[in-house]
Amino acid sequence: MQKKSLAKIVAVMLAASWVAVPVEALAASVDYRALYSGVDYQNKTTCVIGPESQNMDSVGATIGYAYLKSQLGMATEPRVSAPLNRDMSYMLEYFHIPQPTVMHDATGQQVILVDHSSYGAAINGMKKARIVEVIDRHNLGGLQSDGLVYSRNIPTAATSSIVYLSFKETGVDMPKAIAGVLFAGVMSATDNLQGSNVTALDRQAYEELKGKAGVEDINVFHKALEKAAFTHEGMSDKEIFETDCKDYVVKDWAMTISQLECLNDEEFAQMKERMLAYMNKIPGRKTGILYFLVLKNRSTGAAELLYTGDMAESVAKKAFAGADANHAVLKNNADRKRDVEPAIRTELERYMQY
C-alpha cells in the first residue's frame, strides 16, 4: 500500500514539474542535439517520409523535420508516398516550397518515419529499410531495427506540433516557409483548434507558428485550404473513398475506416448518398473485410458513420447508440482514432470471444 501511494505521489510530482517548466527553460538546461549522438547514421542520405496514407499534417511534419535535421548536420531529404492532392499542393505553393520527391518503395533506404510507427501504415519495402528515427503521435506498431533508434511519441493531435517542439528544444532557427507548412499541418490536424483531441502543445504550436509564418488573416487562409481540400469535383467515388483511408486488423477480421470531410450541408448530403452507393458495390465487403466511412460536416461539426453489409451493421449497432441499417449519428467533431476505431474494435473482439 505504501509503495502504491509513493508511486502516485512521485507520478503527480513529475507531472506537475513537466507542466510548470517552459519549453525554453528545458532547452536551456538539456543539450537536445546530443540526444541524437547514440544513433549511427552512417553518413548516409536519410529519407524523411510520412505514412502511405498521407495528409496535410504528415506532409508538413515531414518537410519540417527534414529541414531541422539538415540544419543539425544530417543529409536528409523529404519524401512523400504519392503525388500531393489539391490542398497539400496549394499549401506548398502558398509558402513557396517545392514538392518533395515521391518514394513508393523504401527497400534499401535509410529512413526517418514521421506520423506513423507501424509497417502497416508505411510504404512498401519498409521492413527492408534501415529505420533510424521515429517521430509520431499514434499507437506503436511493432517496428524492428538493427541498431539504436531515436524514437519520440507524444499523444498530440498533430505530429507537426512535435516537430515544432524539436525546433524549440534544439534552438534551430525556423524560416517563414517551414513555419508555414508546420502551421498548416497543425491547423489541419486540429481542425483549426476545434478538434476533440487538441492538446496544450498543439495550441502553443498553432499560435507561435501562425506568427512566424506571417498568416495575418487566419479565416482567409483556412477557407482557402478548405476549398482546396474539401471539394470533390472531378473525383470518382473510389478516389473520394480512398482519400483518407486506413486499414486495421482485429484477429481474423480486416476492416477499413475511411474519413471524408465536407464543406457544407449540401455536399454532406450528396457525399452520404454517393458513398453508401459506392460501399454497397465494394467486392470484398462480404469476404471478411468490413468497410466504414466517417463522414464529417465542417460547417456544423456533425458526423455520421456509414457502413454496408450484415456484419458491419451488427457491429455498428452494438458500438453506437441509435445506429440503423447503414449509418450511425456520431457526436460532433468525432475522431476516427479516438472515437470510432476503438469502439468498433471493442465490439469485434467481443464478437470473436463467443
Q: What share of the chain is helix, strand, coil (3-state, %, to 5)?
A: 45, 20, 35
| Residue 62 CA: distances (Å) to CA of 47, 91, 177, 258 | 9, 14, 13, 22
The reported pLDDT for the residue numbered 306 is 97
Residue predicted with more confidence, 270 or 282: 270
Rounded CA-CA distance 143/149 in Å is 10
- pLDDT tens per residue, range 315-347: 999 999 999 999 999 999 888 888 999 999 999
Average pLDDT in the 229-240 region? Answer: 82
Cell numbers 524514437: residue: 151
Residue 141 has which C-alpha cell? 506498431
- pLDDT tens per residue, range 70-119: 999 999 999 999 888 878 888 998 899 999 999 999 999 999 999 999 99
Rounded CA-CA distance 188/202 in Å is 11
The lowest-confidence range among 7-11, 199-203, 248-252 is 7-11
Q: Which helix (H) or strand (E) holds 114?
A: strand 110-114
Whether residue 341 contacts residue 330, with contact meaning beta carbons closer than 8 Å, is answered with: no
The overall pTM is greater than 0.85: no
- pLDDT tens per residue, range 148-194: 899 999 999 999 999 999 999 999 999 999 999 999 999 999 988 99
| Angle subtended at Cα 203 by Cα 200 and Cα 209, rounded to the nearest 5 degrees | 135
Share the mean pLDDT of the chain. Answer: 87
Residue predicted with more confidence, 207 or 19: 207
The reported pLDDT for the residue numbered 3 is 40
